[in-house]
Amino acid sequence: CKVFFKRAAEGKQKYLCASRNDCTIDKFRRKNCPSCRLRKCYEAGMTLGARKLKKLGNLKMQEEGEGASPSSPTEEQGLKMSMTRIEGLECQPIFLNVLEAIEPGVVCAGHDNNQPDSFAALLTSLNELGERQLVHVVKWAKALPGFRNLHVDDQMAIIQYSWM
């Protein structure tokens, strides 16, 4: 799993799930969907930065054991750079989890198929569907991190443009 994660996370190839991003990943079916496999790695807390930090920590312990001089500024910069990479990689799955948690559900029109179709009934169903979808979009937007910090005019513009 470590080798797959390293190659997939460092590689330029983007994996897409052919299903609904909920494939079963186990010992026997792990090769069926690399997208879900990589997602599972991130959910398990795997990061490329953690591997690099572990290497840096091991190197530092070896140097201290040999009585070497304190770390140079370039080593400290490398450590700081790998720390920011770790923070960035940890934020990505968290942000995706937030988006998945607030993902709006499917909105149904509430149209009664048992009733005969008339222009007025269809128009009423479409109006109700539009109203329900708008309510869902507004709730979803309000749940987005940082959306409420925007000016009200900007919030309204974003919601209006989402309908075009």
Q: What digits encode the pLDDT tens for the residues 15-36?
A: 777 778 888 888 888 888 888 8
pLDDT in the model for residue 151: 92
Fold of 2-101: Erythroid Transcription Factor GATA-1; Chain A (3.30.50)
Domain coordinates of the chain in residue numbers?
A: 2-101, 119-161
Q: What digits encode the pLDDT tens for the residues 38-71?
A: 888 888 878 776 555 555 555 555 545 544 444 4
Q: Is the pTM of this model over 0.85?
A: no
Distant-in-sequence contacts of 42-51, Cβ < 8 A, 24+ apart? 42/89, 42/92, 42/93, 43/93, 45/90, 46/2, 46/5, 46/9, 47/85, 47/86, 47/89, 47/90, 48/6, 48/9, 48/10, 48/85, 48/89, 49/82, 49/83, 49/85, 49/86, 49/89, 50/86, 51/6
